[in-house]
C-alpha cells in the first residue's frame, strides 16, 4: 500500500510458466470438473500442482503417499 506522498518506483510484470496456483472465483467449479474427469479416467493427482494447492514439501509428500494408496487400492479391487 502506498501512503500519501509516496510513489511507485518500479513497475514490472514477468511471465513465469508453471509458477503459482491462481485463486479466482471460478476455481472451485473448475477444480470439481478437472478432478471429476481425472478420477473418471483413473488418474490420481498429488502434490502442489496435482492438487492445485499451496503445499509445503511435507504436504506434497503426504499427498503423493495418499495418491499411491488410492491407486494401489483401486488396482487390488480389479479382477
The Cβ-side half-sphere exposure at 37, using a 13 Å CA radius, reads 5
Return the pLDDT at 62: 95
For 14, phi and psi rounded to 5 degrees?
Answer: -130, 130
**pTM, rounded to two decimals:** 0.62
Across the chain, which has 79 residues, the per-10-residue mean pLDDT values are 85 77 85 92 89 88 94 87
Return the pLDDT at 20: 67
Return the pLDDT at 60: 92
46 Cβ contact list (under 8 Å, min separation 6): 60, 63, 64, 66, 67, 68
* Integer Cα distance of 1 and 63 in angstroms: 36
CB 21 within 8 A of CB 52: yes
Amino acid at each position: 500500500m502506498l501512503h500519501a506522498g509516496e510513489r511507485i518506483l518500479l513497475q514490472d510484470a514477468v511471465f513465469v510458466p508453471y509458477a503459482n496456483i491462481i485463486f479466482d472465483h471460478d476455481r472451485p467449479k473448475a477444480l470439481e470438473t478437472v478432478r471429476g474427469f481425472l478420477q473418471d479416467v483413473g488418474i490420481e493427482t498429488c502434490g502442489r500442482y496435482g492438487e492445485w494447492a499451496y503445499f509445503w514439501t511435507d504436504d506434497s509428500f503426504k499427498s503423493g503417499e495418499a495418491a499411491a494408496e488410492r491407486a494401489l487400492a483401486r488396482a487390488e479391487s480389479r479382477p
